Amino acid sequence: MGGDVGLRGYKAGSFTGNKSLLFNFELRHRFSFTWEKVAIGQAFFVDSGYAWKRDDDVQLDDLKFNVGWGLRFDIPSIFGKDILRFDIAVPVETGDVLISIISGPVFRYDKLTENTEK
């Protein structure tokens, strides 16, 4: 667990096991302007989760947390239905900063492409 689609404040594979719990909360905002056929939005997020080994008990006290902010770019002519995401995440316990860039359908803006697909 960790990385672009899990706990965004931790590197991919930071937590491994056969039992996991993950929560992702996002507050999304689409900017009212568009640039050519590009819709732009932003997201404020909180992630929480952990992964436990087979013999470990699931303890909610083990959960890790990060907070962050990101930009979302919907460019259908290049990415189709995927969104280009730039995220900056900070683990609550360490204060380290992790930046990620990914393209994919994760946390897709349902209405972000409303004016760009025409």
Question: Do residues 85 and 106 lie in contact, with contact meaning Cβ atoms separated by under 8 Å?
Answer: yes
Per-residue model confidence (pLDDT) at position 104: 77
Joined together, the tokens standing for residue 28 give 């999304």
Instruction: Kindly give the confidence (pLDDT) of every residue in the chain, 118 residues in length, as a single tens digit, with 9 standing for 90 and above.
Output: 777 668 999 998 899 999 999 999 999 998 887 777 888 999 999 999 999 999 999 999 999 999 999 999 988 778 777 889 999 999 999 999 999 998 876 544 444 444 444 4
Whose structure tokens read 């990101």?
Answer: 70
Around 110, how many Cα atoms within 13 Å sit in the side-chain half-sphere? 0
Evaluate whether 25 touches 98 at the Cβ level (below 8 Å).
no
pLDDT number for residue 103? 85
Contacts of 32 (CB under 8 A, 6+ apart): none
pLDDT at 81: 79
First to last CA, the chain: 38
H or E element at residue 79? helix 76-79
Place of tokens 């899990």: 6
